[in-house]
Structure 1
């Protein structure tokens, strides 16, 4: 018990757990709609595309998180616009833009001077990288997105189950889809600080995919997804502290174990 008290006594762990719990809630809620709408590749694409925003910030000597958020927002809106202008699938557009954005990020990093610890933490996640200002940004953006989900819950759910039927019922599916793209972009980049560019999108998918195996109603699907995400965050961050593991990898491994346990017990 003393070792756990000692862990929580460190300010960086307090910030990491608080940020992790907030992000777990946010990503789990959005993950439900990602699973229903089969948008798993979108989160992965935005996470990788954010590398360009981070590289721009490091090159300019400004804060990486706000810059990465702005870049992700631009990419999300650009994807949404292109989907309606060209006859190319959404996955193809995402693949093109995220690889181009990553290529831009790699080229820009070539011009940064010396070792960049911030860049390493963004790639793989780091509990040490969460600062008070990051916590404030995470809380503010999360509060805004969760407020939108609460207000638009019926519309979002209806649209995710059947976009055509939702449109017939008077839902502005174009607006709600755009807002969902924006919310996913912002949430994914927020998670990069703890989970890393490479792994953050997994927390959008794993809790909701696992929950879908275990539940029958939409309400239980939603809340079990949140419970699983928070469990993965808590156990993963604790493991990363005691075993000196990358935080993102630890969280995702816990989530993956929960997923396969759900498959095993479901079959029995």
Structure 2
């Protein structure tokens, strides 16, 4: 029986790359999207072309009130398309960047970052635990910015640091069900995250490349395959770890 993974924010960037690599490894995938329905459906079509099953569901991961109805919709989808009452893997990837120095950060910016990157991860996982199969996996996406500071990302990095601690507690509390929980922390990656700053700003790209032992910034294909491999049985004994995937950034 194929494993089923949910990848939040799977319509673009690292989420899309992760979903595609899970499918390449033989898994089925449910991607969530906030507003990019056509892009999410394109990911589903690409996965289907590989011979895997896939679906897309709308979800605002910053809106906790949406989580209970989302869980109900997911339960129906699993029963209808997979004839199952559970899924196997949850990748909490959805997120956004909001650059602001601490002295300039508004409460609205702060709340938005915390709601999506921390509160949303906490309560979405809680809502989906009854549907997550025993022996399953959770991967929470963090950031290299929890280890290396870069001005303007204080609120974002603090929310990601909270997720890293939360992951350890999840691993402890869910261990009795055989569920492993890890955090993956990408370094600077060329995506449209944060308005495509690393990808489209040559000066910023060069700055991060100069900080990286392998001499360049990352691309989605540096991250998605690693997350997919973390879900495989060959990595079943990795648990409660923060795994940085940065090419050796600021070492």
> Do both proteins adopt the same fold according to a TM-score greater than 0.5, normalized to the shorter chain?
no
TM-score (norm 2): 0.27
Relative contact order, CA 8 A, sep 6+: which one is greater?
1
Higher helix share: 1
